[in-house]
Every structure is written in C-alpha cells, then in structure tokens.
C-alpha cells in the first residue's frame, strides 16, 4: 500500500497542480491503517485517509471515496500494485471525448480458470446491460465527477465495477476503454472460484432488476447511499478515535 500511494503522488504531481490521493481503509486489521496514517501525516492534504469501522465492503469503500473526492476527475484503483498509475497519462487526454475511461488488462497475470470466467462474465454483462467493454472488472477507471454524482452506487461488494458501468450506460454517458499493463499480485490472493458462478448469476439478475425496474425501497436506498456517511477521516494533529 505504501508503494502504491507514494507512486500515485509522484505521478499526479507531474500531471496536474490540483490533485489528491484518497485512501479508504475498509476496516483493516493487518496494520494498513497505521501505514496510511503515517503517509497522510507526511503528505496531508494531498493524501487523505477515510476509515470504515467495521468493514463495509469494496463497493462501500468506493462509494465513500467518490463522495469525498473534490476535483473534476476521479480515478480509482486497488493498492495491490497490479496496475501502474503512470498510465493515467494516456487516459486523461481521452476525457475530452468520454465521460468514463475504463482499462482492460493486457498480459493478464491471472489463472486460466479466472480468465475464462472473466471472459464469460464480460459477454453476459454486454448482453444484459449493453456495456460493451473488454474487461468490466478492471480496477483502473477514470470518471468525470458529475457522472459519479448522478449515478449513485447500491452495491457494497466487488460487483460495483459492473454497476458503475451499467448505470453510466443507462444514463448514456460516453464510455471509452484502453489497455493497461497487468502485473503479478505481490500481496493478498484472489478469492474468485468457479463455485462462485451460481451466486454471480443471482447477483447479476438482482442488479439488472434494481437498475431497470427499481421499486420505492430501492430508490430510497439509492438516495441514502448518495448521501454517504458511516466513515471517519483521519486528519494529522486532530484528535481521532480511529
């Protein structure tokens, strides 16, 4: 995580005068929060730390980060260093033509099973949601802030990547894509298995219904999720119970 944050700060410094790196600590118990606090103390206010207690999920972490972002372009990626944020230099100019730019992994460092499942999943998403990109789940995405302000996110888990693009497509935002290098995972391990297929199909069906045929309760939940909350921000020099 330290490598990812410091590299992001270096890259952004060369791209623009207005930037920030937001780290969302989603209830970690492995010392990540302590590392993040040290980085924020060194680089605040360019670096910010938002904390969930307890864990709320990948989608909820993105929702919190998006809601607190202050500038007109919002990028997200994971902190496992499987992507090089320096490739943003090729994405930013494309925002003159698109509202969303999503990466697709080239030279993927994934297992054969995961790569096959990913191919099938992307075909399914293309049919159901009209999202015709090569790699829906690639965690290298750049948005205009107004897109994120409008679409709202309901999903709390890793299906959030699909929901983001599906809702952007529903609202007719322009979606572009570009290949990004994919590097071996140096920390953690994937939990995706073939046994996840039934749960994935159920989740996709639920998501389609919520996006295209929402009921009142779902609309209320979307409004609540747009309002945000449920996190604290660590600010160096201020008292914090995080």
pLDDT digits (tens, 9 = 90+) for 221-242: 777 776 667 899 999 987 554 4
Residue 239, domain member (yes or no): no
Nearest Cα neighbor of 102 from 43, 38, 167, 175 is 175
In a 3-state reduction of DSSP, which class is residue 178? strand
pLDDT, residue 197, reads 79
Q: What sign for the dihedral angle of Cα 50, 54, 138, 109? A: positive
What one-character DSSP code corresponds to residue 23? E
pLDDT, residue 114, reads 83
In a 3-state reduction of DSSP, which class is residue 89? helix
Residue 242, domain member (yes or no): no
pLDDT, residue 168, reads 97
Parallel, antiparallel, or unpaired: how do β-strands 73-77 and 140-144 relate? antiparallel
pLDDT, residue 194, reads 60
Nearest Cα neighbor of 73 from 147, 128, 136, 10 is 147
pLDDT, residue 93, reads 97
Q: Which residue has the tokens 């994919």?
A: 182
pLDDT, residue 230, reads 85
Q: Are 211 and 166 in contact (CB under 8 A)?
A: yes
User: Which portions of the chain are predicted below pLDDT 70?
Assistant: 186-195, 226-228, 239-242
pLDDT, residue 31, reads 84
The rounded distance, in Å, linking the Cα atoms of 124 and 135 is 12
Token pair belonging to 208: 């389609």
The side-by-side arrangement of strands in the sheet containing 21-26 is 21-26, 47-52, 232-234
Please report which helix (H) or strand (E) contains residue 163, including its range.
helix 160-170
pTM: 0.91
Task: For the beta carbon of residue 201, count every other beta carbon within 10 angstroms.
Answer: 12
Residue 42: domain span: 2-234
pLDDT, residue 139, reads 96
Q: Which residue has the tokens 């201020």?
A: 238
Task: For the beta carbon of residue 159, count every other beta carbon within 10 angstroms.
Answer: 20
Residue 241, domain member (yes or no): no
CATH of the domain at 66: 3.90.550.10
Residue 198, domain member (yes or no): yes
Please report which helix (H) or strand (E) contains residue 48, including its range.
strand 47-52
Q: Are 138 and 103 in contact (CB under 8 A)?
A: yes
Residue 240, domain member (yes or no): no
Buried b (16+ CB within 10 A) or exposed e, 64-102: bbbbebeeebbbbbebbbbbebebbeebeeebeebbbbb
The rounded distance, in Å, linking the Cα atoms of 5 and 112 is 30
Structural domain count, the chain: 1
Residue 81, domain member (yes or no): yes
């Amino acid at each position: 995580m330290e490598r990812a944050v410091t590299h992001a700060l270096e890259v952004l410094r060369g791209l623009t005068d207005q930037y920030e790196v937001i780290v969302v600590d989603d209830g970690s118990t492995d010392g990540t929060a302590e590392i993040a606090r040290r980085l924020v103390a060194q680089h605040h206010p360019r670096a910010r730390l938002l904390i969930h207690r307890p864990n709320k999920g990948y989608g909820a972490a993105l929702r919190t980060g998006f809601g607190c972002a202050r500038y007109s372009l919002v990028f997200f990626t994971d902190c496992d260093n499987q992507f090089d944020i320096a490739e943003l230099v090729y994405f930013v100019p494309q925002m003159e033509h698109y509202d969303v730019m999503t990466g697709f992994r080239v030279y993927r460092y994934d297992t054969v099973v995961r790569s096959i499942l990913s191919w099938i999943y992307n075909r399914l998403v293309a049919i159901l949601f009209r999202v015709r990109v090569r790699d829906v789940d690639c965690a290298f995405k750049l948005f205009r802030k107004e897109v994120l302000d409008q679409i709202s996110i309901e999903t709390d888990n890793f299906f959030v990547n699909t929901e983001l693009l599906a809702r952007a497509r529903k609202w007719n935002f322009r979606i572009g894509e570009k290949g990004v290098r994919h590097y071996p995972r140096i920390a953690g391990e994937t939990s995706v298995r073939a046994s996840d297929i039934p749960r994935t199909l159920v989740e996709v069906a639920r998501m389609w219904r919520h996006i295209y045929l929402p009921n009142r309760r779902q609309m209320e939940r979307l409004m609540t999720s747009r309002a945000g909350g449920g996190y604290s921000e660590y600010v160096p020099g201020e008292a914090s119970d995080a």
